[in-house]
Amino acid sequence: MIHIARTFPMMVPYLRRIHNTLESWRLGRDNEGWKFSASDWVQYLAEIDDEFDSSDKDIRRRWKDWKKDLIETEQSPDAPDQVKAVEGLLDDVKALDQLFSSQLPSKRLVRGKKLMRVVYGFGDASGAGFGGTWTARKVEGSTSPVIKYRFGLWGSDMDSSSSNDRELRNLTDMLDKMEADSDLEGAEIFIFTDNSTAERAFFKGSSKSKILHQLVLRLRILEMKSKVKIHFVHVSGTRMQKQGSDALSRGNLTEGVMRGEEMTAFVPLHLTAFDRSKELKTWIDSWYVAGDLPVEYLEPEGWFDRGQDMDGGVQNCDDIWTPQYKTGLFVWSPPPAAAAIALEELRRARHKRQDSTHLFVCPRLMYPYWQRHLFRAADLIVEIPAGSAGWPKNMHEPLILALFFPFVRSKPWQLKGSPKLLEMELSLRRVLKTDEGSAGSLLRKLCVFTEGLKNLPPKLVFNLLQERHCFKVPSGKSRKRRRSQVEKEEGRR
């Protein structure tokens, strides 16, 4: 089944509970087969062992030892012949049955071979109504794209439903309508919504909500049946208002694309942050420093050479061309549609050449596609809201800014997760809510602080990263002391 999932990735979320059922006999699993968290283990150990005091901090620090001893003594090394089905297993099996209900294996669109066609759609739902717009095939003899739309009022059966249910149901019904009008087959479609839950549920392939889970399953079946590739993209509510779908859900047919504006004007997936904001580069230059290194803004071609520290090359004694390497201060600014590829190259570059500093800048669009790369590797991640310095309000979505500092040559080896960086992240969030102009000075202090760590003793580096409320690095110059002062200090010792 794992090999089949490489061909049909939409089935992966529905394999989870099969695996959880197979592992349900092990200690430390809940009713759905998921592993206990640290707090769950502490609670479980307190219930079965009277000597385990969950209020004792020393014992709570040693809960892993208690857990290890319990597993060694209580858990059989051999798996049983039969296991008990976990909650939700039947739902997953039914979902797989619907996905593969056809007699012959379904074909899935991976990449257009002969003709590539992209469809853009916006959908929004309000408490009383719904609306959606999308691009359709051009009418023969016409040069302008056709905009189709649908809108209406919810029935009484939706009175008790949540806003998340309404949003995703509207988008699902809109795609069903597009399929009925033959606007889907062979296309790659981008559906824009201001509901982040709808985006996350479709990207994951499942949801804890039963209604959302069923709607996502409908979309996956539609994707296989119509041979389309669907992307859900979360956008801000202000962009939805400008585009016109927000007004359409309230019965207003005179906003955005409904009055003749181009659909592509509201779809900046191909534009970098610097293409959209001319002030952003000036703001970054004001605080992004690392010694005497100049800031280098990488084009896509530079992701694969200069971003990897490569700086030309020479012919060696065997007449073989060998690259030369030079440390740099880089800025990566991919468009959202290519952010995952850029981050993959950035992570590869950082592991190969560990003395360069990297800054990743990208609008928060198609975020689930590249978020995992970012959180696994970045030392500091900041979300710059629209309306801040260098990122005006008409950008709509926030700007994601991530810093990748050089690795430290001693413990803790990297700055990520240290108390110093966590405090800085919290400080930046507070500043961006109250005084956006001070964010640049804080980031500059951080860059200067990390640059000063390079020549410090390992023990001092570790202590500095553990401290809080201090961004000063001790000077390398020794301070002379008077003889009387030295004698007093020796006497105290």
For residue 399, report the phi and psi dihedrals to the nearest 5 degrees.
-105, 130
**pLDDT band at 478, cuts 50/70/90?**
very low
Q: Are 318 and 329 in contact (CB under 8 A)?
A: no
Distance of alpha carbon 342 from alpha carbon 373, whole angstroms: 10
Distance of alpha carbon 260 from alpha carbon 267, whole angstroms: 15
**pLDDT band at 463, cuts 50/70/90?**
confident
For the chain, report the end-to-end CA distance as a whole number of angstroms.
69
Q: Which amino acid is at 213?
A: H
The tokens for 426 are 């919290």
Q: For residues 28-49, give the mean pLDDT.
A: 77
**pLDDT band at 209, cuts 50/70/90?**
confident
Distance of alpha carbon 30 from alpha carbon 23, whole angstroms: 11
Q: Quick one: how far is CA 197 from the chain centroid?
A: 14
H helices present in 35-162, as ranges: 38-48, 57-61, 63-74, 89-99
Residue-level pLDDT at 307: 92
Q: Are 18 and 92 in contact (CB under 8 A)?
A: yes
Residue-level pLDDT at 484: 57
- Contacting residues for 439 by C-beta, under 8 A, at least 6 apart: 382, 384, 388, 389, 428, 431, 432
Q: What angle do CA 3, 5, 11 make, to 5 degrees?
A: 155
Distance of alpha carbon 439 from alpha carbon 389, whole angstroms: 9
Distance of alpha carbon 39 from alpha carbon 238, whole angstroms: 40
Q: For residues 316-336, give the mean pLDDT.
A: 91
Residue-level pLDDT at 416: 86
Strand arrangement, sheet containing 117-125? 146-153, 129-136, 117-125, 187-193, 229-234
Q: Express each pLDDT in 256-292 by its tens digit.
A: 998 888 898 899 999 999 999 999 999 999 999 888 8
Residue-level pLDDT at 43: 77
Residue-level pLDDT at 485: 55
Q: For residues 74-93, give the mean pLDDT.
A: 84
For residue 230, report the phi and psi dihedrals to the nearest 5 degrees.
-105, 135
CA distance to 47, 88, 213, 412, per residue, from 28 (Å): 13, 19, 27, 31
Q: For residues 55-79, give the mean pLDDT.
A: 71
H or E segment and range at residue 20: helix 16-22
Q: Is the peptide bond before 457 cis (omega within 30 degrees of 0)?
A: no
Distance of alpha carbon 145 from alpha carbon 136, whole angstroms: 7
Better-scored residue on pLDDT, 77 or 327: 327
117-266, which class in CATH?
alpha beta
Q: Which of 32-46, 367-381, 421-435 has the lowest mean pLDDT?
A: 32-46
Q: Which amino acid is at 264?
A: T
pLDDT of 403 over the 70 cut: yes
pLDDT of 21 over the 70 cut: yes
Q: For residues 338-351, give the mean pLDDT.
A: 94
Residue-level pLDDT at 367: 94
Residue-level pLDDT at 68: 76
Average pLDDT, the chain: 84
Q: For residues 114-125, give the mean pLDDT.
A: 80
Residue-level pLDDT at 61: 66
Share of the chain above pLDDT 90, in %: 34
Domain definitions of the chain by residue range: 2-99, 117-266, 273-312+324-466
| Among the listed residues 410, 418, 404, the one whose alpha carbon sits nearest the alpha carbon of residue 471 | 418
CA distance to 77, 231, 401, 466, per residue, from 144 (Å): 68, 24, 37, 60
Distance of alpha carbon 228 from alpha carbon 187, whole angstroms: 5
- Contacting residues for 483 by C-beta, under 8 A, at least 6 apart: none
Q: For residues 30-47, give the mean pLDDT.
A: 77
3-state SS, 409-429, equals: CCCCCCCCCCHHHHHHHHHHH
pLDDT of 228 over the 80 cut: yes
